[in-house]
Amino acid sequence: MELKESFALKRAKIGIIGLGYVGIPLALSIAKTGLPVLGFDILKERIEQMNGGHSPIKHIAHKEIANLKEKGFEATTDFSRARECDALIICVPTPLNSNREPDLSFVRSTMESIQHHLRGGQLLSLESTTWPGTTAEVLLPYIEGAGLKVGTDFFLVYSPEREDPGNPDFETTTIPKVVGGHTAACLEAGSALYGTFIDNVVPVSSTQAAEMVKLLENIHRSINIGLVNEMKIVADRMGLDIFEIVDAAATKPFGFTPYYPGPGIGGHCIPIDPFYLTWKAREYGLHTRFIELAGEINAAMPQYVVDKVIRALNEAGKPIKGAKILALGIAYKRDVDDMRESPSVFVMELLREWGANVQYSDPNVPVFPPMREHAFDLSSVPLTPEVLAQFDAAILLTNHTGFDYDMIKKHTKVLIDTRGVYRDAADVVRA
């Protein structure tokens, strides 16, 4: 197969469509092997950043993007250049619409943009999380509409992304890569592509199987986080410390994996992906009750946190209406700048609905970004004793390592902790 040989000999050009939290790490890993990389995105600002050697993502250093440029990387909004590429990897968002149903508009618009620029001998891989059947039912018709025969003169695969932004223990090349092909020849080509820059490629029987793998991984996390969040509520009512309980349970060397509670779940995967399966399952007459229940528990956690804030302020003789409240950390997880589906934002909105004056401090998010469903005209306030003294309460929502936790505790009137940082402090409210 000529395509396999071009991967092995580092002659193939790889196109990355979608330069975000998945696409950029992919581009970095591929370029390190010596394969030329061409990046595509619809955001002109993103293209200018990448071509200027600047990283648009906090946990990826500017020097890494500059090094990428030195290796010949180029970013463009011109999708007609897809024809230059021997392999195209799609890493675009797959959100939910207003009815909490799958929104494949980014995937479809990508295919519409590249359809007439596809050619024989190319490989197309979808990495965006989606429901089982998407690759065959949505992507394949575009390819066939371009007059190409998949498995003969064109190769189609699905390989779910497994990025964990901000996790220093894993990088793209060391995380095993699941790959499913539309045909055996497609799987062979896809394995050859990913094998050039991934240490361990895990082939599965079909694109549908690979799509289901990704959903299982994230639904597994959603369910276990839902379980420990519910356990937190029960433990709190009983006067028990859920973090102590999880830590002790984690000493069991078999049959238990520790998950820790928080103010809810965030990011593009865990709050979104389960709905892709529940939606598709209805096509088969199935109701995924267990999966949906976990989602309901996790979605209710911001309200649980706000109830705790209201009670804590009441104990301090301060009504929630008009109270000045500082949200500490609004990214969805520690030490990243990713705001997608962040539970902190839901907490802030609920507090605002109660009439509170809400502000935030986050070293990774200097200005509250524009979001499709949330609107706050705010910038991060500096975290100093003088600033903390101005607020009636502060809520630790994201446990960034950049926070001075001793200073926060010393100068905060009412402190609510949703992350277990102050688990041994009797004067801190647990939520």
Q: Report the catalytic residues.
A: 269
How distant is the alpha carbon of residue 222 from its chain centre? 13
| Cα–Cα distance measured from residue 394 to residue 381, given in angstroms and rounded to the nearest whole number | 12
| Cα–Cα distance measured from residue 391 to residue 398, given in angstroms and rounded to the nearest whole number | 18
**CA-to-CA dists, residue 51 to 46, 90, 96, 142, 394, angstroms:** 9, 20, 31, 30, 40
Contact 392, 413 (CB under 8 A): yes
Instruction: Using the structure block, give the residue that is written with the tokens 């990011």.
Output: 267
Task: Please state the φ and ψ torsions of residue 269, each to the nearest 5 degrees.
Answer: -95, -65
Encoding tokens for residue 386? 């003088």
Contact 208, 126 (CB under 8 A): no
Contact 28, 172 (CB under 8 A): yes
**CA-to-CA dists, residue 155 to 127, 132, 136, 346, angstroms:** 15, 18, 12, 42
Contact 204, 210 (CB under 8 A): yes
Contact 40, 16 (CB under 8 A): yes
Other beta carbons within 10 angstroms of residue 318's beta carbon come to 17
- Please give the biggest Cα pair distance in the chain: 75
| Cα–Cα distance measured from residue 407 to residue 385, given in angstroms and rounded to the nearest whole number | 7
Contact 190, 181 (CB under 8 A): yes
Burial grade of 67 (CB within 10 A; 0-12, 13-18, 19 or more):
middle
* Local structure of residue 271 (DSSP, 8 states): T
| Cα–Cα distance measured from residue 1 to residue 310, given in angstroms and rounded to the nearest whole number | 65
Contact 354, 320 (CB under 8 A): yes
* Local structure of residue 22 (DSSP, 8 states): T
Encoding tokens for residue 33? 């092997």
Terminal Cα-to-Cα distance of the chain (whole angstroms): 58
Instruction: Using the structure block, give the residue that is written with the tokens 């109830």.
Output: 307
